[in-house]
Amino acid sequence: MAHLDTDQLVQTILADIQAGQLADEQRKLPAEPVLMERYQVTRYTLRQALKQLSTMGYTYQMHGIGTFVRQQQTNNSIALQHDGGLSEAAARAGLKLATRKATMATITVADADFLPETGQFAQDEELIDIRRFRELDGQPYLLEHSYYLKSIVDAIPEEALYGSLFNYFEQQRDVNVGFIDQLLMSEPLPAIAGEFMKLPAGAPSLVVKDETYLTTGKMLAFSKQYYDYRRARLFMVKKIR
C-alpha cells in the first residue's frame, strides 16, 4: 500500500473530483474497493478521507447506495468547515490564497485593538501582534489580525507569516491545536484594511472572529479576519441527519 495520509488523500480525491475524473454521470463516486485500489490506501484511511470530504461539504452519503459529489453552490467559495488552515481550504476550491504583506510586533493586552469573548488577561500580559494582508488569486481579499499569547508561543519566524501558520503550529511538538471557535459578524472596515482593499474606512466588512485553543483547553490565539465584502464567499453545510 502507498503511504498517503488522510489529508493527502482528501486533497487527491478532491483534485480528481474537480478535474471530472472520478464521479460518474450521477455524480456517484466509485465503490470503496475501487477507490482503495486507485489510491493504494487502506479502508480506514479511505473512510477517514470520505468523512472529511463530507464534513467539508463536498460529498454526501446515501446509506446502502454510495457516496455522491454534492451539487455545489460554491464556485469561487471557501469552506468554513475545514480541517487545517484557510490557505489549504482555498486550494481545495481551486483558489490561491497568499500573503502579500505581513507585520509582527510584541505588545501588551492593554494595547490590543480587541480581546476575545472569553478569557481574562492581565493588562501587562504580552501578545504577539500579527497582521497579514492576504490576496485571493492575486487580488486583495482579507486582512487577518491575530494575537498569539507569548506565554504559549515565545517567537514566530517571519517566514511562517507567508505560509500556513496553522501548519507551522501543527509541526511544533509543544503546541497541539485542539479546536477553534468561530463567530461570524459584520463590522466597519478598519482604515488599514480599507487602504489595502481600496475601500473607504468604515465600509461594511464580513468578519470571522477566531479563538484558537490547545488540546489542553488553553487559549493559543485570537483573531479577526476582515473580508472584502465584494469578494467574500464562504460556505458551510448544515446536516439534518
Q: What is the pLDDT of residues 59-74, one digit of tens each?
A: 888 888 999 988 765 5
Torsions phi, psi for 207 (to 5 deg): -120, 130
Residue written as cell 475545514? 82
CATH topology for the 6-69 domain: Arc Repressor Mutant, subunit A (1.10.10)
Which of the residues in the chain have pLDDT under 50? 1
Helix count (H) and strand count (E) of the chain? Answer: 6, 10
d(CA 129, CA 62): 46
Q: What is the pLDDT of residues 121-154, one digit of tens each?
A: 999 999 999 999 999 999 999 999 999 999 998 8
Residue written as cell 484557510? 86
pTM of the model: 0.75
What pLDDT, on the 0 to 100 scale, is given for residue 192?
Answer: 96
In terms of C-beta density within 10 A (0-12 exposed, 13-18 middle, 19 or more buried), how is residue 217 classed?
exposed
CATH number of 78-235: 3.40.1410.10
Q: What angle do CA 185, 188, 192 make, to 5 degrees?
A: 120
- List the chain domain ranges: 6-69, 78-235
- Name beta bridge partners: 224: 145, 209
